[in-house]
Structure 1
Amino acid sequence: MAITDGIVLKVINVLVFAFNLGSNVYSFTGTYGKETYLTPASYAFYVWSLIHLLLLGFVVYQFTETGKTLIIDKIEWRFALLGLLTTIYTWLGVRQYHILAFVASILVSAAVTAIYIQVKRNHRGGNLADELFVHLPFSLYHAWALVLVVLSGFEAFGREAHHHAGIGTKVFVFLALLFLETTAVGYAFQSNEGDIGGSAVITWTLWAIFEHQRSNAFIHWSALGFAILSSFFLLKALVLTWKSGKSGLHALHDEERAPLIPGSS
């Protein structure tokens, strides 16, 4: 295979990666924006660093024959679109256009979902480079985009943290935490294949919310409870995967991987 096959898209992917990385390094410190009762500690945003590190491998891997087959032939222009939408979301978030940033976060989530589906559909077991530079970064990105939708929604419509948290605020925060926790369980035990990376991202975020939300006892301890539950099921998924004797993204039988919470798979 000539390295120039699909060269236009390959170059665009490299440029999108570089521009998006620069944009996120500049802006995503975890300290900008509106402080809400769901805002996590700043270390939650380190997920961006891991995603970008893996995507560096992604843009290099596309120049190989096996990488070109999946990235250029299957993912096609979706990665460039995702990078553009992420940059727009970043720009809006930094300037605190919260409602527009929320809308942009939904578009980012939709764009990464399109890639996530393509990656799952074209899964090739046993290829370490595929797993590390394609499957893992988009598993993390997919879960993180969902987290950003929830956080952006609270920034757009939620009460700021320096205001008193009434019963309505507490209920909405509790429901958001419940949604994140059950989604983390769903990632870990989805169908015949667990998505450990996606589950870990949301679990990490729940611990960061618990760490940061100290001004309201109900929210603080609710976040702890959901973080513990999410960690338990993540650990269970890891143990079952290890016991299967497979490579971490292969699955056990449905009944073995079923979570303890009904309806969360």
Structure 2
Amino acid sequence: MSNSAPNSGWLKACNILSYLFFTSSNLYAGLGGDSIRLGKPVQTYLTPAQWLFGVWSLINFLFLGLLVYQFTPRGGKAVTEQLGWRFPALFVLNSLYTTLFSLQGSRLLNFLAFLVLCLVAGMVSYLYGSLRTGSEPENWMDRYLVHLPFSLYHGFIVVVFFVAAFTVFGTDANTHKAGVVTKILVFITLFFLESTAAGYVFYGNGDIAGASVISLGLLAIFDEQRSSKFIHWSALCVILLMYSIFFVISFIAVLRAVAVAYQAQRSAIPLRSSDEEAAPLIH
């Protein structure tokens, strides 16, 4: 993509315009429209508590800061070189998905919304991967206005993707009891979310923000799912398992660092003694 001033100006203008669509669709889904719950018109056995969707407010606020930051030299470089035209395209796709899912429609309408969500997930993953494999943040604005919102966004989309999948292909918890197949699928999904959160923490330099969003998602599912004791307590067990794994791996890492430091100290002692023996008696 060309980084010329005209193209950069058009990109920044499109970012602002698409952000307005992004925010308006979120407000419509949360406060207006026909849906009772933001992004989930059908109650399933993976539906999280409503408070989880408050993450959208934080993401919207951080992206607003990014739109202001893009008019600085460093912010403009990050937007044009690292995000590009995929950034406003992501806003438009997300707006379409949120609007479709906020409507009390047929299975076909929900399926179309899910297809759009797949495009959103792919776009978010691309931008998230581009930032994670690119240069490290140079200042706090890079960290909190560029990298942080995409970490939160990516982690949130992981949770929303499975919630939407159960909305389209799963059973309605208000009209059907959870069968064996449903319980197995929910448990597998919970375990996958736990594994993904662990991957966020221990891959590369770690991504605490993304892992925290998925952890909140598991906690919200535990909070919401009370009609099935198996699903309710499975969500809690997965959360406890996740933090147990975090503790064990972190503890092993600390022990390994102590052992390496101890070995380095011991290997340094013979070197000092040999140097003293090899030193001449008369200077």
TM bin (shorter chain): 0.7 to 0.9
- Change in Cα spacing, 1:57 to 1:233, as seen in structure 2 (3 Å) is farther
- How far residue 230 of structure 1 moved from its aligned partner, in angstroms, is 3.1
CA distance in 2 between partners of 1:31 and 1:7 (Å): 33
- How far residue 135 of structure 1 moved from its aligned partner, in angstroms, is 0.5
Matches within 5 A, 1:248-263: none
- Counterpart of 2:18 in structure 1 is 16
- Counterpart of 1:171 in structure 2 is 184
CA distance in 1 between partners of 2:137 and 2:8 (Å): 25
The question of whether the paired residues in 1 share the 8 Å contact of 2:65 and 2:145 is answered with: yes
Matches within 5 A, 1:112-261: 112-162=124-174, 163-190=176-203, 192-232=204-244
Q: Which has the larger radius of gyration?
A: 2
CA distance in 1 between partners of 2:60 and 2:243 (Å): 24
When structure 1 is superposed on structure 2, of 164-173 and 22-31 the one drifting more is 22-31
Q: Does 1:7 align with 2:9?
A: yes
CA distance in 1 between partners of 2:164 and 2:218 (Å): 15
- How far residue 236 of structure 1 moved from its aligned partner, in angstroms, is 7.7
- Change in Cα spacing, 1:159 to 1:5, as seen in structure 2 (3 Å) is closer
- Change in Cα spacing, 1:205 to 1:156, as seen in structure 2 (3 Å) is same
- How far residue 125 of structure 1 moved from its aligned partner, in angstroms, is 3.9
Q: What percent of counterpart residues are identical?
A: 40
CA distance in 1 between partners of 2:113 and 2:200 (Å): 25
Instruction: Indicate which of 70, 88, 106 corresponds to 1:80.
Output: 88
Q: What secondary structure, in the 3-state scheme, does the structure 2 residue paired with 1:6 have?
A: helix
The question of whether the paired residues in 1 share the 8 Å contact of 2:90 and 2:124 is answered with: yes
- Stretches of structure 2 that go unaligned for 5 or more consecutive residues are 31-36, 261-283
CA distance in 1 between partners of 2:251 and 2:6 (Å): 43
- How far residue 177 of structure 1 moved from its aligned partner, in angstroms, is 0.5
Matches within 5 A, 1:15-34: 15-28=17-30, 29-30=37-38, 32-34=40-42
The question of whether the paired residues in 1 share the 8 Å contact of 2:194 and 2:215 is answered with: yes
When structure 1 is superposed on structure 2, of 156-165 and 227-236 the one drifting more is 227-236
The question of whether the paired residues in 2 share the 8 Å contact of 1:196 and 1:234 is answered with: no
Offset from partner CA, 1:27-83 (integer Å, 9 cap, x none): 045374100000000001011111111111111111000011111122110111101
CA distance in 2 between partners of 1:87 and 1:165 (Å): 32
- Counterpart of 2:274 in structure 1 is none
CA distance in 2 between partners of 1:175 and 1:133 (Å): 34
CA distance in 1 between partners of 2:247 and 2:20 (Å): 35
CA distance in 1 between partners of 2:248 and 2:72 (Å): 36
Offset from partner CA, 1:129-172 (integer Å, 9 cap, x none): 11000100001111111111111100000011121111001000
- Counterpart of 1:110 in structure 2 is 122
- How far residue 8 of structure 1 moved from its aligned partner, in angstroms, is 1.1
TM-score normalised by the chain length of structure 1: 0.84
- Counterpart of 1:247 in structure 2 is none
CA distance in 2 between partners of 1:34 and 1:135 (Å): 32
CA distance in 2 between partners of 1:134 and 1:104 (Å): 24
CA distance in 1 between partners of 2:70 and 2:5 (Å): 9
- Stretches of structure 1 that go unaligned for 5 or more consecutive residues are 244-252, 257-265
The question of whether the paired residues in 1 share the 8 Å contact of 2:39 and 2:98 is answered with: no
The question of whether the paired residues in 2 share the 8 Å contact of 1:13 and 1:59 is answered with: yes
- How far residue 228 of structure 1 moved from its aligned partner, in angstroms, is 2.3
The question of whether the paired residues in 2 share the 8 Å contact of 1:139 and 1:197 is answered with: yes
The question of whether the paired residues in 2 share the 8 Å contact of 1:184 and 1:199 is answered with: yes
- Change in Cα spacing, 1:237 to 1:3, as seen in structure 2 (3 Å) is farther
CA distance in 1 between partners of 2:93 and 2:47 (Å): 22
